[in-house]
Structure 1
């Protein structure tokens, strides 16, 4: 399970961790605006969307060990290219490449393996441990990366040269590349070639098309869209800390890195609560909490006196987002999707659920660039409020539908 958890986070470290933890430095080193960085992620989202469904079908037919290890090595190769600090066109190509390598042969096999590991009664625990462990891996590696950043910047943080930023970001990229390749080796060594689960009930259709007629599946997809949008919102907290909380680049990166240690706590706690109560109840509470927190953040104006309140709100929102992300796939078991179609179901949910990879960064970048200062962040939080309410509504309808049966 350790290798699965570690690989499950490292596969996404190059496309997402660098921008999440080191956004101000990344923007300066690559000479990008928020809008440009958001648009660069667009081809990732398109290729990922095209990969989820066929990748899910492959997961139901082929060895997870081979699929996942190849994905990790292919993703690491992109990190080597990124370390040369390519121009914007090269970055478009790179993120398109990662859209395929991180999803097509990896995502559904991982989710399927975790569902099988969790059995009938421990889905919350299984998915909570997966995302909690992934969060611990992300936090630990980001702490090492913050150390690399500090060493590259030296002692004078007020006079950082362009060369220092480029050197720092290159070191961080190579660090994540190394860990991604190492995860590929771990998967190849430790994950067995599992058996392919087939449906043996002759009275139920075996075609994946039956899943498209299941309203529960579509409601789950809406829940994932909403939760994943909140997760994408975390990528902008380091920039917000620099712009409004009087932090420098190193302090902001350290803040987000330290906050990411809440992920194992939130995910595992949510997983245990899901097994005791239900996934729908815990997810509904999390969305409600996020709507309140984002509303407060949209209203608060920064000052020395209330910065502590703002930081507290940010930290609680980290916790709630991590709780959501840790358990939303536990709904696959709660809604009784056939085990033999798990990979396909996850593929369908993910095609819709991870569309924020297509639009969220471009939208957020334009909101911040076109509305400089506090108004941009207020609009940003309005968007997150809307997604929280959409997710809450979908969860409510999923509970109603379940109670009618």
Structure 2
């Protein structure tokens, strides 16, 4: 391996470190959904509102973040987002009233989704050519899963060590905050040695944005991400589902939540990139059939008897469903290579993609949470899981259209059409 390759993969590992830590506070519900209800006094609907407020601000600012990533040095924006997130976590640990929680979750979106995320995506894209995009993004998701799992299980250990009560939850939040600040400090110093960004500043942010808007493929890729993400949002409700329907203990609910939301990234991201390349020869084609594979698994989840004796079957079925979704998340940005996005507008392209693709975060959690609050017990979960199945069918149709569009571009775009996963 050459010195240049070593430097490239070192920067990649540093970027994974930031990507695997910055969303822990905004996604506190992944490991601590039930403790948030018990010790912060939040209902399903209120947690959904916090997540939606975060997503609304994120969605509104994704394009701004893309323009920032094209205009300013991502080596400065990335640590800035991490340090800001950690600082907000220090206040979150005081358990402020719900109105203040809404403000905190909105500011977390500014730090993570506007300042950090488009810069991270651009930095990853610029690490390799179009033939490496599937592999790079798949490894990004897998690497984030490793960091996610280690950090989240450590936070759960802090929670248990502090008594699994209010003090435990506050300590876990402080732990996340300190980790963010450490990651921000490391990225600030370790990314400074990287190669300066290409001079995309010859055009201003608005020119890059307008150029990106005119690329038709961006819109289909973005809609495809939208469909994956709206199904992904539903994975959160496997956590209370196992507790309410199967009686899973609170400590195990936290462990399951970490596996469901973090550990599966380790397997799903790289697996999605490998399968898309080696078996399907196209990420858009893989996404099409992955959507279809979700339907029989959801049927199994709905049919398993709701009894403590079937708890392991319920866990296995829901984790299998989540694994496929995470394999899709690992590669859902890779079709940007298939549709041929110029390097100098990468930030703006990802800003548009994030604006549309992550939009479900604005309303999906509220819809799912409201269904569960209005239809308690099995009926509510039946509605939520059935809705996820319908959305998977729509996703199958969108991915089919994307794949057909990519096929029509061949052989003219054969050089960039198939990212290697």
Give the TM-score normalised by the residue count of structure 1: 0.92
Q: Which moved further from structure 2: 41-50 or 122-131?
A: 41-50
Instruction: Determine helix, strand or coil for the equivalent of 1:31.
Output: coil
Distance 1:135 1:252 in 2: 18
Distance 2:214 2:394 in 1: 21
Asked if residue 392 in structure 1 is aligned to residue 396 in structure 2, the reply is yes
CA deviation after TM superposition for structure 1 residue 286, in Å: 1.8
CA deviation after TM superposition for structure 1 residue 306, in Å: 3.8
Q: Which moved further from structure 2: 368-377 or 39-48?
A: 39-48
Q: What is aligned with 1:334?
A: 338
- How many residues matched? 392
Are the equivalent residues in 2 in contact too, given 1:197–1:339 (CA < 8 A)?
no
Q: What is aligned with 1:272?
A: 274
Asked if residue 72 in structure 1 is aligned to residue 53 in structure 2, the reply is no
Distance 2:123 2:297 in 1: 34
Distance 2:257 2:54 in 1: 23
Q: Which moved further from structure 2: 360-369 or 265-274?
A: 265-274
Asked if residue 4 in structure 1 is aligned to residue 5 in structure 2, the reply is no
Are the equivalent residues in 2 in contact too, given 1:224–1:353 (CA < 8 A)?
yes
Q: What is aligned with 2:94?
A: 84
Q: Point out where structure 1 has 5 or more consecutive residues left out of the alignment.
A: 154-163
Q: What is aligned with 2:50?
A: 40
- Show the 5 A alignment for 1:1-400: 1-16=12-27, 18-153=28-163, 165-192=165-192, 194-197=195-198, 207-259=208-260, 260-276=262-278, 277-400=281-404
CA RMSD of aligned residues (A): 2.1
Distance 1:137 1:329 in 2: 20
Are the equivalent residues in 2 in contact too, given 1:64–1:194 (CA < 8 A)?
no
Are the equivalent residues in 1 in contact too, given 2:69–2:118 (CA < 8 A)?
yes
Are the equivalent residues in 1 in contact too, given 2:287–2:332 (CA < 8 A)?
yes
Distance 1:286 1:323 in 2: 8
| Deviant stretches of 4+, over 4 Å | 198-202
Are the equivalent residues in 1 in contact too, given 2:70–2:200 (CA < 8 A)?
no
Distance 1:305 1:288 in 2: 29
CA deviation after TM superposition for structure 1 residue 265, in Å: 1.4
Distance 2:152 2:79 in 1: 22
Instruction: Mark the CA change 1:206 to 1:70 in structure 2 (over 3 Å): closer, same or farther.
Output: closer
Q: Which moved further from structure 2: 316-325 or 143-152?
A: 143-152
Instruction: Determine helix, strand or coil for the equivalent of 2:41.
Output: coil
Distance 1:301 1:341 in 2: 51
Instruction: Mark the CA change 1:40 to 1:258 in structure 2 (over 3 Å): closer, same or farther.
Output: closer
CA deviation after TM superposition for structure 1 residue 343, in Å: 0.6
Q: What is aligned with 1:159?
A: none
CA deviation after TM superposition for structure 1 residue 201, in Å: 13
Q: What is aligned with 1:401?
A: 405
Instruction: Mark the CA change 1:288 to 1:201 in structure 2 (over 3 Å): closer, same or farther.
Output: farther
Instruction: Mark the CA change 1:6 to 1:53 in structure 2 (over 3 Å): closer, same or farther.
Output: same
Give the TM-score normalised by the residue count of structure 2: 0.88
CA deviation after TM superposition for structure 1 residue 213, in Å: 3.6
CA deviation after TM superposition for structure 1 residue 373, in Å: 0.2
Q: Point out where structure 2 has 5 or more consecutive residues left out of the alignment.
A: 1-11, 410-421
CA deviation after TM superposition for structure 1 residue 229, in Å: 1.8
